[in-house]
Every structure is written in structure tokens, then in C-alpha cells.
Amino acid sequence: MDGCLFCEIAAGERPACVVLDDEVAAAFLDTRPVFKGHVLVVPRGHVETLPDLPAEEVGPFFARVQAVARAVEAGTGAAGTFVAMNNRISQSVPHLHVHVVPRNRKDGLRGFFWPRVKYDGDAEIEDYAARIRAALNEPPHL
């Protein structure tokens, strides 16, 4: 869709620190992360909300979300993840996106009052992305 930030990122027309890019989805680091390693997963095709995603695409899309959640934990050393999405309300970009946020006990995240952090620069952003990309290529630990 013309003018959609996430469509432009998925198409490679706008820079982003991409950690996953395939025929189903793109995933990239959030530029305003709750915690470092916060990833957004978006479907490749433009849809605004989860109800707009065709039923046959839900499973493949959430398989990518699941893989990214594993990779965020492994790549950042987090104890877990917070996985969430908004549909219209509080949705800053009108393109379906799932937040995968690394979590640790006593990390300060309470309810929906999310603190925001900043990366120390491009090198740190790329380091987080590289660790998550590498973890995406590892088999799941069962």
C-alpha cells in the first residue's frame, strides 16, 4: 500500500534493522523499543488489523511470530517475552504488527505503562539484530 511505513520496510524501500524476511512476514527492531531487542513482526501483504488477515494466512504468520519470540529470548538472553498487538486503538502504524518484547523479572514493565529505551547507536542496534537473526537459524530447544 502506498505510503505505508511497514509495507515500505517489508519491500526494502525504507531502512530498518531486519531480523526476518520471507514470503510471509518481515520482522525488524522497533525504533522506540520498550527494551532492547524489541521486534515488530508484520505480514508481507498490507492488512490493517488481525481480523483483516485472511484465515489461511493466520497460521503461517503466527509461526513467524513464534519463531521470533524464541529468537528474541535466545538472542538477548531474556527470561521470556511479552507478545502483543493492537487493533486500531493505540496502533501507531495502520498495518498489522505484533510486538515481541524481551522480558526479565523485575525489568520495570508494569501493566500497559511501557517505558521506552534508546539504543546507544547503530552498532548496538545491529548487534541486537544479528543476535536475533542468528537465533532464528538455531533449532528450537525442546
Angle between helices 55-76 and 122-136 (to 10 degrees): 120
Q: Which of 38, 46, 95, 97 is catalytic?
A: 97
pLDDT attached to residue 50: 96
Q: Is 99 marked active-site?
A: no
Euclidean distance between CA atoms 23 and 25, whole angstroms: 6
pLDDT tens per residue across span 92-130: 999 999 999 999 999 888 766 666 788 999 999 999 999
State which of 70-84, 105-119, 125-139 shows the largest mean pLDDT. Answer: 70-84
**Contact (Cβ atoms closer than 8 angstroms) between residue 20 and residue 9:** no
Length of the chain, in residues: 142
pLDDT tens per residue across span 22-49: 999 999 999 999 999 999 999 999 999 9
* pLDDT above 70 for 20: yes
**Contact (Cβ atoms closer than 8 angstroms) between residue 37 and residue 133:** no
Residue 114: how many CB atoms within 10 A of its CB?
17
**Contact (Cβ atoms closer than 8 angstroms) between residue 35 and residue 101:** yes
The percent of residues above 70 in pLDDT, for the chain, comes to 93
pLDDT attached to residue 140: 63
Structural domains in the chain, CATH included, are 5-105 (3.30.428.10)
* pLDDT above 80 for 1: no
pLDDT attached to residue 59: 98
